[in-house]
Amino acid sequence: MSEIHEQKILVLDFGSQTTQLIARRVREARVYCEIHPCTMPPDEIKAYGARGIILSGGPASCYEPGAPSVDPAIFELGVPVLGICYGMQILTHLLGGKVARGAKREYGPAKLNIQRQAGPFRECGLDEPQPVWMSHGDRIEKMPQGFETLAVTANSPVAAMGDPERRIYGVQFHPEVAHTHGGAAMLAAFVLGDCGCDPIWTMHNFAEATIADFKERLGGQKVICALSGGVDSSVVALLLHKAIGKDLTSIFVDNGVLRAGEVAEVAGLFRDVFGLNLVVVDAADLFLDRLKGITDPEEKRRIIGHTFIEVFDAEAAKIAGEVQYLAQGTLYPDVIESVSFKGPSAVIKSHHNVGGLPEKMKLKLVEPLRELFKDECREVGRELGLPETIVSRQPFPGPGLAIRIMGEVTRPRLATLREADAIVQEEMRASDLYTKVWQSFAVLVPVKTVGVMGDERTYEDVVALRIVDSVDAMTADWSRVPYEILARLSSRIINEVKGVNRVVLDISSKPPSTIEWE
Ligand SMILES: Nc1ncnc2c1ncn2[C@@H]1O[C@H](COP(=O)(O)OP(=O)(O)OP(=O)(O)O)[C@@H](O)[C@H]1O
Ligand SMILES: O=c1[nH]c(=O)c2[nH+]cn([C@@H]3O[C@H](COP(=O)(O)O)[C@@H](O)[C@H]3O)c2[nH]1
Ligand SMILES: NC(=O)CC[C@H](N)C(=O)O
Ligand SMILES: [Mg+2]
């Protein structure tokens, strides 16, 4: 634990859809925080040493049997507590107030009239009502002793309450969502004002602290890192490189299903510019041989995943000296998912990653990004001098172009898709849409259609454009890309990519579709 982790906020999760957003907002106020399930044992909560506790919302009703609760000892720790929606209701229930079903469910926007500038509202003006976002059916009938109303809406006589003496507050609305315009400022006022945290959680400080920590813990030991050229593993490799230099070996596998120019770009940047000890493994033939005749999407993923582990394993074995550590780009959302109060979600596609490696290789894991959200990881990348082309990279799946070629993956079909994909990348970057959308790519459809080119009949492939907006890839919608850009994409692909005479646009949302086609 370094200094920047010392002043922290604990977010206890009661199963809300927006718990992660609470943590995001606290981090944006430059304060470190972690999400833990509401079932965290009281002695652990105490030992954790947070400067403040935030109780999230949740789907349950606190007066029902079996509703999730929290040990009331948290109110005796002497640190400020803020309950949001269910969090406010459960604290009311535990402190002797009364919660009951309201006459009307309140869902969506509301106008908040703040009556007292205390707690999260310490910086708020009293004249203008604030737009806030509500999502509840229960309401506070009676506040616990010592509490007073801090704000009201037309529908909620107790839209916010507080006991400023004990610094315990509750808000019925959701300050963490964007629809509550002043919400981020309210959460910042709570963590900086009430909890007294200093705004020291910056990615500059994070990078420095992580590098210093690695120098101390890993100095003189051998570490390996699987580098994909994506932002996560690139940031991991650079952090480690700055800490232990040549004791880090990064391994980049050309699996034959990478994008155009990727091998040269990754090798050029990390080896020549950053001076990393980088092994580039040309395993394209091996991967493509094994993919021969395979058309089933899950089978493709399985083969690529297994082959990847095999290749990686073999390369790691060649490194002189005993390797003790494997570095991975695990991000905080992955960590939260595995400890969340909600159960794990159903598997729709088996995502390839190197998760199978450590057990097999008996290596200890180094996961420097375990505490970071994606945009924080990008910020660290910028701090470390990673160029914007890598920092702002759209996600690219491990199985690469193989899951964007419907049907068999062959070299000629790969060449076709690569060319079309390069045009999509180029045009999207040129139009500045590249960083606005979540992903934009081409898919090769296993269908031939008739066309006419220079008076001649053609009978060629179809390319589909997949361009989506999303915040976390869990849901997505097709991007409303301006017609001129679509026109340019279509015309360039048909004219420049041999063997393609038709371009179509995928206008499906997720769900029920998925972002990738396989
Ligand atoms: N071609 C590759 N060579 C070496 N390692 C790879 C390769 N592809 C994937 N990996 C490793 O597997 C991990 C998971 O890959 P994937 O691309 O599916 O995830 P990711 O979340 O996009 O991560 P990243 O942003 O680092 O690419 C990567 O972080 C990297 O460590
Ligand atoms: O690391 C990855 N390994 C994979 O095997 C994989 N498959 C899909 N994706 C990416 O995940 C997000 C959601 O994709 P889907 O809607 O297709 O499931 C999208 O961003 C996809 O690009 C992958 N990422
Ligand atoms: N969003 C929430 O936290 C909802 C809390 C509670 N289930 C209600 O309906 O009021
Ligand atoms: Mg990647």
What is the per-residue pLDDT across 369-411, written as a single tens digit (0 to 9) for each?
A: 998 988 899 999 999 999 998 999 999 998 999 999 999 999 9
Least confident of 89-103, 274-288, 350-364, 450-464: 350-364
pLDDT band at 52 (very low <50, low <70, confident <90, very high): very high
- List the strands of the sheet with 222-226, edge to edge: 278-282, 248-254, 222-226, 323-327, 364-366
229 is in an annotated binding site: yes
Q: In angstroms, rounded to a whole number, what is the distance separating the alpha carbons of residues 18 and 11?
A: 12
* pLDDT tens-digit series, residues 169-195: 999 999 999 999 999 999 999 999 999
Catalytic positions, written as ranges:
85, 174, 176
pLDDT of residue 352 exceeding 50: no
Section 233-259 average pLDDT: 96
Q: In angstroms, rounded to a whole number, what is the distance separating the alpha carbons of residues 426 and 433?
A: 11
**Strand, helix or coil for residue 351:** coil
Q: In angstroms, rounded to a whole number, what is the distance separating the alpha carbons of residues 429 and 72?
A: 53
Q: Assess whether the C-beta atom of 18 lies below 6 angstroms from ligand 1.
A: no
**pTM of the predicted protein model:** 0.86
**Strand, helix or coil for residue 408:** coil
> What is the average pLDDT value for the chain, to the nearest integer?
93
Per the model's pLDDT, the better-predicted residue between 273 and 103 turns out to be 273
For a ligand 2 pocket test, name from 349, 394, 405 the mutation site with the most ligand atoms within 8 angstroms of its C-beta.
349
Q: What are 26's two structure tokens?
A: 């606290």
The pLDDT of residue 80: 98
pLDDT band at 456 (very low <50, low <70, confident <90, very high): very high
230 is in an annotated binding site: yes
pLDDT band at 108 (very low <50, low <70, confident <90, very high): very high
Domain 218-391, CATH class in plain words: alpha beta
The pLDDT of residue 338: 65
For a ligand 3 pocket test, name from 91, 135, 139, 153 the mutation site with the most ligand atoms within 8 angstroms of its C-beta.
135
The residue behind tokens 């459960």 is: 90
pLDDT of residue 348 exceeding 80: no
The pLDDT of residue 345: 44
Q: Assess whether the C-beta atom of 120 lies below 6 angstroms from ligand 1.
A: no
Dihedral sign computed on CA atoms, order 182, 183, 188, 193 = positive
Q: In angstroms, rounded to a whole number, what is the distance separating the alpha carbons of residues 384 and 172?
A: 41
How far is it between the farthest Cα atoms of the chain?
Answer: 85
CATH label, 3-194, candidates 3.40.50.150, 3.40.50.880, 2.60.40.1080, 3.40.50.300: 3.40.50.880
Going from the Cα of 361 to the center of ligand 1, the distance in angstroms, rounded, reads: 17
Residue ranges, comma separated, of all CATH 3.40.50.620 domains in the chain are 218-391
Contact residues for 355 (Cβ-Cβ < 8 A; gap 6+): none
Residue 249's alpha-carbon distances to 225, 233, 246, 364, in angstroms, are: 6, 13, 7, 15
pLDDT of residue 5 exceeding 60: yes
Going from the Cα of 397 to the center of ligand 2, the distance in angstroms, rounded, reads: 5
The pLDDT of residue 54: 98
Q: Assess whether the C-beta atom of 131 lies below 6 angstroms from ligand 1.
A: no
Residue 296, strand partner residues: none
Q: In angstroms, rounded to a whole number, what is the distance separating the alpha carbons of residues 365 and 442?
A: 35
Residue ranges, comma separated, of all CATH 3.40.50.880 domains in the chain are 3-194
| Closest ligand by atom to 229 CA | 1
The pLDDT of residue 360: 67
* pLDDT tens-digit series, residues 261-295: 999 999 999 999 999 999 999 999 999 999 999 99
234 is in an annotated binding site: yes
* pLDDT tens-digit series, residues 300-325: 999 999 999 899 989 988 987 888 89
Alpha-helical regions (H) of 29-105: 42-48, 86-94
Per the model's pLDDT, the better-predicted residue between 317 and 90 turns out to be 90
β-bridge pairing 148-152 and 160-163: antiparallel
* pLDDT tens-digit series, residues 418-437: 999 999 999 999 999 999 99
The pLDDT of residue 346: 47
Section 39-46 average pLDDT: 94
pLDDT of residue 137 exceeding 60: yes
Q: What are 199's two structure tokens?
A: 């705004």
The pLDDT of residue 344: 42
Alpha-helical regions (H) of 259-296: 262-267, 284-291
**Closest to 425 measured CA to CA, from 396, 445, 405:** 396
CATH label, 410-505, candidates 1.10.3720.10, 3.40.630.10, 3.30.300.10, 3.10.400.10: 3.30.300.10
ipTM, interface predicted TM-score of the complex: 0.90
Going from the Cα of 235 to the center of ligand 1, the distance in angstroms, rounded, reads: 12
The pLDDT of residue 358: 62
Q: How many CB atoms are closer than 10 A to CB 7?
A: 23
